[in-house]
Chain A
């Protein structure tokens, strides 16, 4: 492990200054993903700027209108166990509660979860100079791609790793950033970046920017759910995840968001599945139709065709759970 200094920030602006003060410095929240990167020499930063020492960044606030302001340092455990979120935003609570292990959830933050780097094994091993690390090959294409993507791939094909991001997109969340050019708020729909645009990143966060807060709109009139399929019963990356939110009026779906996880390079909104739901009563027939529509445009690789079937099943089941 390369030597680095640990700088403990006490304010956000100080954190930004510390980050800018030494080229290659990185921010540290829970540290789960960061330490993995350090151990495998995927990052060799001269300085870690610790956000954990900034007071107040782990707050979860429920606004009078029912919307949420979740501080970037709120742990997955805290979000999962939050009484209001469990009722108003159950898909988010579940996604946070199903992630990793209890030990990890007690340390990992929601900000870190959203910003963590992909878990494609080629990216995670130093020896593979893959396209995500600035190389020119995605080893998964001709290699071991059973866990890779069926949507949004090219030139890199890693699944977006964040499970929390899947319901956040479904709820239409936005991300509050602070950077050298001042604060800005980016809607979830614009936050994540396809590899075709830039294979070395997954989102629009700029150098020197800090994710401070996640704002999640109220869910009045909406129903939502999140489910996963996993090889291992726990402590496993899902093969497929789905967060679905629907607004039902008079027995008919007025609006729908269908977002898929672990099958695309970003949290993947399925317009076709949403279209299949809107204007229909919520029930077995619309669940079936949404499941089938959700795989429109899927481009499986050599060894991950099963994910197509899993998407169909999981979307159908998740819709059915809301009926």
Chain B
């Protein structure tokens, strides 16, 4: 989407030094007229603000509990909402009796869903709003719903069987009209993943072929702040505080659902406790709770706070689809891959979009014979939602496990096999950095035989160490309809005003860095105002687009302010504005830096109170690489008698363009490794096979990593002048979780010599795999 040229937008050509500092390349880019020359490799060593590690500016508020999340808000007269979800997995609603709930003292409004067809347990049925959370809970329990139940299917592989109950009737087309269908299985999808060449020819030319099937269960986002809003009306003006990663999407969605003008809706999000892709819409993928809150607030004439509870969060707010992947890969004896056939069946419950072929397509860009087929399989479960590089962690688990198995068959070092087929010069430069940091040389040369590894005294006994690696990919996405405002006040203070929200990455600080660099002031001197739809339009924080979308327009607005300040400073210094430069709070003559005025002295000369510059983002232009390279490593310890797996260390090497704030960028990388390792080893949404409801809808038995599971986590960023926008920044939220499932699985294989092709890698699976291997041997 980012690479498409906008029709008729006139361009200006810049020449810049792109790529890795170790291998600069001169590149011509065609930017929108009015855009400025991109920061490139010549700028990287000169930066005063960019690229320096800085704690996030809101950290003191968060660690002292003063940061106000949606969950913390309390408005005068506020009511508390409570959603009521379907208790059955499939069927129809015969009746909803709310009379007892309405009669309960303290209940002020009731809402019921329009749809009478139930396709998953937890689907919206009704909602109540009451004077306290306790009364709301009591009222919700008084709503009597009668169902006519229908057979359901709870799991991907069950849903693929002949005769499985149909989630959607034959007359319905949940995946689009033109998609082939067989029962609950829809596909292959029309979306092209760059299929090319001739598979038969490719496999005929292969000397070694590996084919394997891999399976990931459903993973839930488990945001620590559950989904929720506080909705209040003043006349026809609606204000919504939302725990969201897309305030404008909330505004658009609610305005449409309520049939009101967007101008009458204001959405705010100051701080939020995690989204990971599940909070991109107005409510959630499987619930209209925000709309219900707005309607009940209108009806009751009082603000309504509607926070989902942990159980609802698991059932109806999205999840990462399960995936069954069959990967066939052929290679020459020297490791040259000749063909890849990638097939994937994914289940996003009652939703589509469970494809996983992205990593296979991207990582095998050099291979002439490639085919991917992706199928959506419907099940009676809550709809999926994007989860941090949607489909890519699952897909990389498939393709990168298969590559590890191929390396084993070839008798090749897994890194050498990757290098042989590497299309990205950036990843090519990353392998050795990561290998050195993890101690790749220590890995077991023969998987499962720790005497062939460099473990010294720890090689003995039931606990075995192993090292594994895998690659990940992501893309340079950017939203282009983005604005920003930079205000310089007469006293020299600076505000950046932009309508994006901080999903929790610390993007306030990273964006402030960009403004500060352009204006020549300290980052701490820039005040960020974000998370309000009354500010210039911002992007949803999904697809790792935030910095890539917002930083360039902030730089443009700051550049305009800088130009205006130079015009004020020039007469003070007796030179032309074009002879000036700015850094460290000073505006100075570029050729004679001793001749300077302070930023404040220049600002004091303005007429009026503010220099107020608003910019619209120009189009995304050519990038050095359209993909973001990453490679990741892990050392694990497996107790071969108990099956317990512990992660000892992980190393992630990533490209995120120029990291504006490496500290928060690395924070994203480390967080992704934790979330991915947790997914690989523990996480599993379990629906009861006979009843169809989730048996572990809490954080006690839906297990996520806890502090005791923490490992040594190391993030290595490889700065790349990627261009594409005037700051050469790129996102980092998603790329580092893409390889993690495969990394852990490959490391476990290196430790125990037995491949585990189904996640999570829990003790029962490890013991079963070892026992099966012993039986065969």
Binding site for B on A (CB under 8 A): 1-2, 41, 101, 119, 121-122, 125, 127-128, 139, 142-144, 146, 229-236, 239, 303-304, 306, 309-310, 313-314, 317
Contact = CB atoms under 8 A, between A and B. Distances in A.
Give the secondary structure class of B's interface.
Answer: loop
Interface string B680-692: 0110001011110
B691 A234 contact: no
A143 B691 contact: yes
A186 to B, nearest CB: 30
B763 A121 contact: no
Given A127-B87, A139-B691, A234 B707 contact: yes
Contact of A232 (B682, B764, B771): B682
A2 B104 CA distance: 13
B637 to A, nearest CB: 11
B686 A144 contact: yes
Contacts of A41: 141
Contact of A142 (B641, B690, B706, B708): B690
B642 A313 contact: yes
Interface of B: 87, 134, 137-138, 141, 641-644, 646, 681-682, 686, 688-691, 693, 695-697, 700-701, 703, 705-709, 762-764, 767-768, 771
A126 B172 CA distance: 34
Contacts of A303: 764
Contacts of A231: 644, 681-682, 703, 762-763
Which 5 pairs of residues, A with B, have the shortest CB-CB distance?
A234-B708, A233-B708, A306-B764, A121-B695, A313-B641
Contacts of B697: 125
Contacts of B87: 127
Contact of B688 (A139, A232, A233, A239): A139
A143 B688 contact: yes
B691 A310 contact: no
B394 to A, nearest CB: 21
A1 B186 CA distance: 44
A232 B705 contact: yes
B709 A233 contact: yes
Contacts of A306: 643, 763-764, 767-768
B703 A139 contact: no
A232 B706 contact: yes
Contacts of B646: 233
Contact of B709 (A119, A234, A317): A234
A87 B709 CA distance: 28
Contacts of A229: 642-644, 763
Contacts of A235: 706, 708
B763 A239 contact: yes
Nearest to B768: A306
Contacts, number: 81
Contact of A146 (B141, B691, B764): B764
A139 B762 CA distance: 23
Given A122-B695, A234-B709, A314-B642, A144 B764 contact: no
B703 A236 contact: yes
A236 B763 CA distance: 14
A153 B41 CA distance: 69
A146 B703 CA distance: 14
Contacts of B693: 125, 127
22 contacts: A1-B138, A2-B138, A101-B706, A119-B700, A121-B696, A139-B690, A139-B691, A143-B690, A143-B691, A144-B689, A231-B703, A231-B762, A232-B706, A232-B708, A232-B709, A233-B646, A234-B706, A236-B703, A304-B764, A309-B641, A310-B763, A313-B641
A122 B687 CA distance: 12
Contact of B695 (A125, A230, A239): A125
A88 to B, nearest CB: 27
A143 B689 contact: yes
B509 to A, nearest CB: 31
B760 to A, nearest CB: 9
Nearest to B701: A121
A139 B641 CA distance: 30
A191 B553 CA distance: 71
Given A234-B709, A306-B764, 13 more contacts: A41-B141, A121-B695, A121-B696, A125-B693, A125-B697, A139-B688, A139-B690, A142-B690, A231-B682, A232-B703, A233-B646, A235-B708, A309-B771
B729 to A, nearest CB: 36
B134 A1 contact: yes
A146 B682 CA distance: 14
A125 B697 CA distance: 9
Contacts of B707: 234
B148 to A, nearest CB: 18
A128 B763 contact: no
A303 B688 CA distance: 13
A239 B645 CA distance: 14
B688 A310 contact: no
Nearest to B709: A233
A179 B707 CA distance: 42
A144 to B, nearest CB: 5
Contacts of B763: 229, 231, 239, 306, 310
A310 B563 CA distance: 71
Contacts of A239: 763
A304 B768 CA distance: 11
Nearest to A125: B695
Of A2, A233, A236, which is in contact with the most chain B CB atoms at under 10 Å from its CB? A233
Nearest to B695: A121
Contact of B691 (A128, A236, A304): A128
